[in-house]
């Protein structure tokens, strides 16, 4: 008697939606900022916890704003690597826009761009 092996089709694993990472509660309470004095600040900068740009939109600090022309971009990615605020938005290997909620307007991207695709302009605030 021959034993026939049946090919058992494996059920594909159900597609799971990636679980949205829950943002941790900020450890730094800024609600009493008016009462803060030099005794509570280190000289230089205070970085109370890593990754806090999720809570703080630093775009309002800007005086100059980068203007990006994706047509002139050759995809070298220098702006992306040098931007201290990770504000260069890349699509299909080219810089296409700037995250103005976080860009502080330092101008490094414009200085590094070899094709002149980024120029700094005075940020006209409302």
Which residues lie near ligand SF4 (CB under 6 A)?
Answer: 66, 73-79, 83-85, 87-88, 95, 98, 103-109, 112-113, 115, 117-118
For the CB of residue 125, give the shortest distance to ligand SF4 in the complex, in Å. Answer: 16
For the CB of residue 85, give the shortest distance to ligand SF4 in the complex, in Å. Answer: 4
Asked if 86 and 43 count as a contact pair (C-beta separation under 8 A), the reply is no
Q: Which is nearer to ligand SF4, 36 or 61 (CB)?
A: 61
For the CB of residue 27, give the shortest distance to ligand SF4 in the complex, in Å. Answer: 25
Q: Which is nearer to ligand SF4, 48 or 70 (CB)?
A: 70
First-last CA distance in the chain: 87
84: its two tokens:
């201290």
Asked if 95 and 68 count as a contact pair (C-beta separation under 8 A), the reply is yes
Q: Which is nearer to ligand SF4, 30 or 101 (CB)?
A: 101
55: its two tokens:
């809570």
Cβ-based neighbours of 28, under 8 Å, separated by 6 or more? 48, 49, 52
């Amino acid at each position: 008697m021959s034993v026939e092996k049946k090919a058992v089709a494996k059920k594909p694993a159900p597609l799971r939606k990636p679980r949205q990472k829950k943002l941790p509660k900020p450890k730094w309470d800024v609600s009493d900022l008016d009462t803060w004095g030099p005794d509570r600040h280190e000289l230089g900068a205070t970085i109370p916890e890593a990754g806090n740009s999720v809570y703080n939109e630093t775009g309002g600090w800007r005086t100059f704003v980068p203007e990006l022309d994706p047509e002139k971009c050759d995809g070298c990615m220098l702006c992306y690597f040098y931007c201290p605020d990770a504000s260069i938005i890349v699509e299909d290997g080219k810089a296409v826009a700037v995250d103005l909620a976080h860009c502080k307007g330092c101008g490094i991207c414009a200085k590094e761009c070899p094709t002149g695709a980024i120029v700094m302009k005075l940020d006209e605030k409302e």
